[in-house]
Every structure is written in C-alpha cells, then in structure tokens.
A and B are shown apart, each in its own frame.
Chain A
Amino acid sequence: MTDEPLVRWDWIARNWANGGPTAISALLENHVVMAFLPVLFGLVVALPLGLACVRWRWLYQPTAALMNVTYSLPSLVLFSIFLSITGLTRSTVVIPLTFFALAVLIPAVVDGLASVPDAVRQSAVAMGFRPARRLLRVELPVAVPVVLAGLRVATVSSISLVSVGALIGQGGLGNLFIDGWQRQFYTPITVGIVLIVLLAVLADGLLVLAQRLLTPWSRARRTA
C-alpha cells in the first residue's frame, strides 16, 4: 500500500468517460447540478423571504434563528432526516443544501437592502417612485454587491458540501472519496479533491466577473 502513488493517470484515462454512472465526468456533472440547484432554489426563496423580513421586521429574528439552527446541524443529520422522506435520491442532498444556502442568502438579502443609504431611499421617495418600482429600480440594484457576496459564500460551500452526500450514494465527486477509501486507492481521492477545488475556484471567479459586469459603479469604491 505504501508504494501506491497519489495519481495513476491510466486509471483516470480509463474512468473519465466510461459511459457508466461512476465515470468521473458523470460524477462531475452530478456534482455541478447538485451544488447549483440549492443555490438557485435558495436565491429564489431568499429574495421574497428577505424582502418580507425587511418589510415586517419582527419576522427577521425568528427566521434568522431558525436558519442558524439549521446551519449548525451537521449536514449528515439533515441528510438522514430527508433520507426517510425522499429516499436515496438527489433531493435528499439538494433539499438540505437549499436550507444551508438559505441560511447564508436570507441575511445577505436583508443586509443588502440595509446597505442602501438612507439618503438614496429618501430621495427615491421624494422623486415620486412608487414602492414596487423603488424596490426593483433602486433598492435591489443597490443591494446587489452585498447579495452577490453572500451568493459567493453559498456557492462555494454548496460545492464542498455536496460531497457529504456520498454517504448515501449521492455525493457527486464525493463518491470518489468513498471509492478511494474503501479500496485504499489514492487516485480517486486526489481527483475528487482537485476537481472540487477547481469547480469552487471557477464558480467563484464567474461570480466575481458577474459582479464586475453588474456593478461597475461599486468597483472603485470597494478597492478605494
């Protein structure tokens, strides 16, 4: 076992796209889907919920508390809970991860809206914006940098957390860890780690790029 190298290239070549469900490329695809769906669902739910928390302040404390408790649960516990409901499917991973994303994104939306300077909101009111238009045209756009910062955290942690799903056979690249562990074979483990890190770096980079494009007005201020 001690002679086993970290990477056996021939194994990678043979298993990259062998057509089966355990091919590295298939696992990668699975991983991407299972990591991004929770972030997407999270964002879709966090926007209205965050807005509601801003509109009705009393909502925020209980919501934040609930989300924090969820976040503090080991992901495995959540997976087990959903295992009994959704079985050995992707949903058993995606649903808990959506809660984790929410725990980051709801505060991001709330903080983002709170980051809108009072003078900006006041002058929007004074110029005759009606509430809905003010929200869409002024408050949400100004909140974008803070929301995107939350989105980066949620995305990267989602990418890393998917691996835990391997324990129920739905872990994307995480399955490579189990495989490597069971066979005391390092190559799948190395491949899994490298791909997950690359995926995280790539996703984060894309979000940074999106931020640059979406908010040219905040770039200089951030670096100033």
Chain B
Amino acid sequence: MITFEDVTKRYRDGTVAVADLSLEVPTGAITVFVGPSGCGKTTSLRMINRMIDATSGRITLDGQDVREIDPPTLRRGIGYVIQQAGLFPHRKIVDNVATVPYLLGWSKRKARARAMDLLELVGLDPGLAGRYPFQLSGGQQQRVGVARALAADPPVLLMDEPFSAVDPIVRASLQDELLRLQSELRKTIVFVTHDIDEAVKLGDTVAVMRVGGRLAQMAGPATLLTEPADDFVREFLGRDRGIRRLSFISAKEVRLRPAPSDLATDEDGRPLGWRTANGLAAYGTFTPETDSLRAALDAALLSANGTAVAVDEEGRVRGVAGRDAIDELLAEYAPPASGGSGEGSSGDGSSEEAPA
C-alpha cells in the first residue's frame, strides 16, 4: 500500500503543485489520478519514486517512508511508464526491456531471457527483439515501455499518461491489454491520465484532482459517476454519466425468459432475426456472463421489438429480456436518494440544481 500523508509540493518558483494531499493507494489494484492539465498529477506520481521530493508531509510504501530509501534503489523496485515511452534509442528492444535487470546485476543471459518473456506477455512479436526503437510504431514502443517497467517484476507500477500519444484504436487495445495483464499480475498501479473515460475504464479507484493539487474526490468509478462530490467533479465527468455507470453493473442479474417462437434461429440455435410480416427484423444480443447492463440495454435498443436477445459464449440463444426486465434492474441500481446528483441524464454541467 502507498499512502500520502498531508503531502505538499511547492516548487522553487512558488508554484504549489500539490497541496495537503492525503490518500491511500491500495495494494494489487489500479488507482487512477485524473484531473485537468497542471493539477499536479505528474508531480504526485513522481513523489512516489522520489524523482521529485515532497516539500512537506510524507509518502510511505508498505509502511516505510520513501525518503528513508536511497532513490536509485527505490526506483529499481518501482516500474515507471511515461507518455513518450522514453525508450533508449541506442539499445535494441530486448536490451531496453532488460534495463532494470541489468542494473540489478542479473547475468546478460538471464536478463535477456526475462526480456523475451515480457515481450510475449505484453503481446509483442519476439521477432522485434533485435530491432531498435525507431523501427517500431508508437503503439509497439508503448508496449515495450510497459514490458520494460515490468522487467524486474516490481510490485508497484507508476504510469504517467502512458497511452495518450497513440491513436484511439491503439489506445483502446493497450487499455484492454493492461486490464488483462493486471488480472494476472495484480500489481499496485498508479495510473495518471487527464482522460476521464480512461480513468473510469481502468481504475478500481479514481482520484479526481483539481488545479492546485487538491483532491476533489476519490471513489470507485461507479460511485463517482452516480455520486460526484461537487460541481467540479460533475463537470469533469462530462455527459451521459447515467448511461456510462451502467457499464459497472453486470448483466448477469437480468431476468431472462425463454425465447418466444417469433425469434428465428439457425440449426445451432444462433439468432437470425425477429419474424415479421415483412421478413426478419433487426435484433441485438448480449452475453449475460461477461457483458454489462449497458450492453443489455444497448441490445434492447437495437432490437426491432425492444427485446434483447441473451446468448452464450458460442452465440446460441439462451433467452430474451424485454425492457421490463432491464428496467427492473435499473430500478434496483438507482442512485441513492441522497446522492447529491439531481440533474437529468443529459447533464452537461450547466443545468445543475440542488437535489432537494
């Protein structure tokens, strides 16, 4: 666990980048620091591995004050990924990944073998090992950056906007990859971003910061979306909070009923469409085990008759759910009555009213 206790950072020119920050980063989970540009995210992150030293307050790592640890030693036990990857241009990919093992004095053979494993772990072709960084795409470089940070198997990983320099499609796949890795590795990750969607997608906990380095709210993503602490957080979260929150509710609980006879299927039981007088009409599917309530609602909205088709992993029909069934679950997960968020679902931050 990493704890910030009343941490303040004042730069020499007087800028207060972080003010009285107190929070806990739980072990084995992803904690996202999110906030507008200049709010002190990078400063907070770098105080953990002492690339920047706090002006006052203290940061502890598993109970030990980081200031009692020699910085290079501390840093070799903490993976770090930055936006531009920051790969060493003069070293081959395999040696870039093996950087920290080399620093720790591993033999070249062992370090390289470990590097090869990591390339595979982050989904890179081992054939890239002998290339130089300039021969890789931005997305590939970023993956190498992640592999390099993981090379010595540090328990803690710091990531500073690691995916913001790549295009949206690559970014989405890197995010999915990180979640997959994390489900295997269970690292303590502090992830910095200014993109709230990324924060909500990746974070087990999200810390929203405001300019001046103050913590505005720290909560799980679902709670954040339903119960923003104040107008700043509400505005920062942006539109469609109600809909986006549904991503955090499992569709498993949606009450299914047997498929009616007007749902046409092929011989394997896969849906073909809704029978109508004019032939087959559009349908939408969701997989209760793995999908969210948002996907179930989406499937209902895509179906000609408003009924979502539940399918198993192989795509075979398991039942259907009408809007009534989805509504039931929506009601169950309605925001708490005193949640402090009283605006309509289209809230764009301009029509806030006090929630009675």
Contact = CB atoms under 8 A, between A and B. Distances in A.
B90 A129 contact: no
Interface string A103-143: 00000000000000101101111111110010000100110
Contacts of B89: 117, 120, 142, 217-218, 221
Contacts of B158: 126
Interface stretch (B24-32, B78-86, B327-335): B78-86
A120 B86 contact: yes
B223 to A, nearest CB: 32
Closest 7 CB pairs of A and B: A123-B86, A119-B86, A128-B76, A126-B80, A128-B75, A119-B84, A217-B132
Of B71, B80, B82, B88, chain A has the most CB atoms within 10 Å of the CB of B88
Chain A's interface: helix, strand, loop or mixed, by majority?
helix
Interface in B133-157: 133-135, 145, 148
A1 interface: no
Contacts of A125: 51, 75
Interface in B43-62: 49, 51
A217 B51 CA distance: 28
Given A141-B90, A217-B90, A217-B134, A127 B85 contact: no
Given A119-B84, A127-B103, 6 more contacts: A125-B51, A126-B49, A126-B51, A126-B80, A133-B103, A138-B90
Contacts of B49: 126
Interface residues of B, number: 29
Interface string B88-99: 111100000001
Contacts of B132: 216-217
Interface of B: 49, 51, 71-76, 80, 82-91, 99-100, 103, 132-135, 145, 148, 158
A224 to B, nearest CB: 8
Contacts of A221: 89, 134
A127 B99 contact: yes
Contacts of A117: 84, 86, 89
A163 B86 CA distance: 47
Contact of B82 (A122, A138, A217): A122
B90 A215 contact: yes
Given A125-B75, A127-B103, A220 B86 contact: no
B35 to A, nearest CB: 21
Nearest to B91: A217
Nearest to B80: A126
Of B49, B86, B132, chain A has the most CB atoms within 10 Å of the CB of B86
Interface in A20-65: none
Nearest to B74: A128
A125 B84 CA distance: 15
Given A119-B82, A216-B132, A220-B134, A126 B75 contact: yes
A126 B49 CA distance: 7
Contact of B80 (A127, A133, A138, A141): A127
A119 B162 CA distance: 12
Contacts of A217: 89-91, 132-134
A100 to B, nearest CB: 30
B72 A129 contact: yes
Of A120, A123, A126, A141, chain B has the most CB atoms within 10 Å of the CB of A126
Contact of B100 (A122, A127, A142, A215): A127
Of A117, A133, A217, chain B has the most CB atoms within 10 Å of the CB of A217
B326 to A, nearest CB: 47
30 contacts: A117-B86, A117-B89, A119-B82, A119-B85, A119-B86, A120-B87, A120-B88, A122-B51, A122-B86, A123-B80, A123-B82, A123-B87, A123-B145, A124-B88, A125-B75, A126-B51, A126-B75, A126-B82, A127-B100, A127-B148, A128-B72, A129-B103, A133-B103, A141-B90, A142-B88, A217-B89, A217-B90, A217-B132, A217-B133, A220-B135
